[in-house]
Chain A
Amino acid sequence: MSDPDPSRPATRTGPLAEEAAVVAAAARGDRSAFTQLVEHYQGACYGLAWRLLGDPDLAADATQDAFIHAYDHIRAYRGGVFRSWLLRITANASYDILRRSQRRPTTALPEPEEGEADIADPRAVNPVAESARAELYRALDAALRLLPEDQRIAVVLSDVYGMDYQEVAESIQSPIGTVKSRIHRGRLRLRVLLADQRELFEG
């Protein structure tokens, strides 16, 4: 599993300048307006997809699917925060891909030998090579990947992308009670996984 380019950590994407006008133009069929939205939000959508799927190619596919769905349904967009609308679509697209890949299991890769773990161990980050913040992000992403899938999805949607319980429940088609339980257990497990890296949080 390869990571996204860590040398170019992006920040959280804020709303586009004059976003309402751009969205309205895209809804009228203006392709250049929609392209503007794609270029602006692709990092956010890709980030969500990658954190849900843990695979760069699948994440790119999910992002592409999400934008196609968004393009087809942008007339159904009824206001609100466009980023959240787009992220919900991306979450659904990612979840669809996840379910499809579970229905068609691929050959499992051999278990990495000790010391050659392909999945980054949150304890194996190099504090010298990266800045403290980039190190924290790397540790968090690595810890997220160590969570059980159901907990990871719930925590990513809730705590990383700020969806409320209802939105998460709709995205993963589960009862709210189940969603709450997964989020809470996921947070507790993350805390344990990152217990030895408290110093990263103190910066």
Chain B
Amino acid sequence: MSMTTRAHPDPERLAALAGADPDALSDRDLIAHVAECAACDGQVRDLEVLRAALAELPDLVPSRPLRLLPPVAEPTEPAGWRIGLRRAFAPLAVAGMVLLLVGGVGATGALGPADAGSFFQRIQFSAPAAMEAATAQPEETAAGVGMAPAELASPEGSRDQTGAIATEVPRAADASAVPSESAAPSESAAPAESLAEVTAGQDTSRDGGLAMVEDRAGWILAALAGVGLLALALVLRRSAVRIDRGSSGR
């Protein structure tokens, strides 16, 4: 038995030789040993047969059919103006709603420092004469003239001056408009004065109504602008949806 036979090479070197590894093929000692050693040669042959069999292993039938999914419509990059249409909807709608809300609330008078004034403006606008008389009556009462006997006898009038003003206003207005029989001669000038005041009051109240409208014009305009913005946002939205449908249906 030769020296090469006794000193068997590392089995991994034999496996490398069986796999036609370039390093193993260039190893002369290894080649020489295998040529002389029947055991190592047999091992290399076994490994070559094994390798050949492995290389023949067939392909396998998949456990489930593999198919490409039907083509999915790839999302096409929308044009810049279409992106703009979509993106404009939300801010426009929000701005419109805010304007509508603020303008609407402001126009009804619930906002702003003009709340108290608006109450009187409303009264003047609806009953200017009554308001005029009502404001004139306490002064006359205090002077002790012009008060109808019924009014003087009225317990409510003596008890609650403010309440009397509120309840007796129509009658006082009638009394000033039609000269009363019980009225003193000095009071005959009062109807004329009252008439002038009423006329003036009416003018003032009309001015007040206009002033109210002017005061609220800003709020009203804001509300209208809000409605406009909302409408614009909806139009943009519908346009964007229509365009999207059209492009996806292509």
Contact = CB atoms under 8 A, between A and B. Distances in A.
A181 B50 CA distance: 17
A83 to B, nearest CB: 10
A159 B15 contact: no
Interface string A40-66: 001110110011000011011001100
Contact of B46 (A13, A60, A141, A191): A191
A157 B49 CA distance: 17
Nearest to B21: A180
B76 to A, nearest CB: 14
Given A180-B21, A187-B47, A4 B15 contact: no
A110 interface: no
Interface string A157-192: 011101000000000000000001101110110110
B53 interface: yes
A137 interface: yes
Binding site of A, secondary structure by majority: helix, strand, loop or mixed? helix
Contact of B62 (A13, A43, A136, A140): A43
Contacts of A140: 53-54, 57
A7 B1 CA distance: 50
Contacts of A158: 19
B249 interface: no
A89 interface: no
Interface in B39-79: 43, 46-47, 49-51, 53-64, 66-68, 71
Given A46-B62, A191-B47, A194-B50, A159 B68 contact: no
A44 B62 CA distance: 9
A34 interface: yes
A7 B6 CA distance: 48
B61 A162 contact: no
Contacts of B19: 158-159, 183-184, 187
Nearest to B11: A188
B60 A46 contact: yes
B15 A187 contact: yes
B62 A60 contact: yes
Interface string B168-196: 00000000000000000000000000000
B18 interface: yes
Interface string A108-129: 0000000000000000000000
Contact of B50 (A4, A31, A190): A190
Interface string B5-22: 000000111111011010
A47 B55 contact: no
B63 A56 contact: yes
A159 B61 contact: no
Contacts of A191: 43, 46-47, 50
A10 B68 contact: no
Given A38-B67, A60-B64, A180-B21, 13 more contacts: A4-B60, A8-B61, A13-B59, A35-B68, A42-B62, A42-B66, A43-B60, A44-B59, A46-B62, A47-B57, A140-B57, A159-B19, A159-B51
Interface of A: 2, 4-5, 8-13, 31, 34-35, 38, 42-44, 46-47, 50-51, 56-57, 59-60, 63-64, 67, 71, 136-137, 140-141, 155, 158-160, 162, 180-181, 183-185, 187-188, 190-191, 194, 201
6 closest cross-chain pairs (CB), A and B: A43-B59, A56-B63, A184-B15, A47-B60, A184-B12, A46-B62
